[in-house]
Amino acid sequence: MKKTLLLLLLVTPALTFCQKSAGLISQVDDLSLIAQELDADYASNKHTLWDKTLSDNAIVRINNTVMDGKTVKEIFKSHHTIFNDIEILDGYAHTNYFKNGNIWTNKWFTWEGTGNKTGIRYSNRSHFDYRWKNGKIVEMGCYFDTTALNMELAAQ
């Protein structure tokens, strides 16, 4: 029993301190704050921050459908012709500064909007990832359920 306890006391700190850091993470850095500000820019239908921040040539995956940043900006703008009273709620973002130089922001939020054709109020939990280079989003992954969009587009 004493040997087991001694072994545990020696091995546990060694395993704990042997882990190598992949980088730093922050919720209060400039990029995390910009990621949060993008919500209001989208919801208000201004899109000035999106136009400035998302590179036209960015590689964007929306549920693994690949397109460029310029196309995505137009799609985001079109949401306001399909839905009204769009809100972004419960937003959280943090940015990972990896030792290899990559910078990624991870963002979670709830999208809400009312369909212009159906009048249905939709709520959709979403996750976006942004890879940054020189202050611009150059790669983006967007993951969310498309049921609300499909229902509105199919409505008569």
Please write the tens of the pLDDT for every residue from 93-141: 999 999 999 999 999 999 999 999 999 999 999 999 999 999 999 999 9
HSE-CB at 146 with a 13 A cutoff on CA atoms is 9
Contacts 24+ apart (CB under 8 A), 48-56: 50/76, 53/135, 53/136, 53/137, 54/136, 54/137, 54/140, 55/136, 55/137, 55/138
Query: Of the candidates 76, 93, 88, which has an alpha carbon nearest to the alpha carbon of residue 32?
Result: 93
Domains and CATH numbers, the chain: 22-154 (3.10.450.50)
Please give the model's pTM, rounded to 2 decimal places: 0.85
pLDDT of residue 9: 59
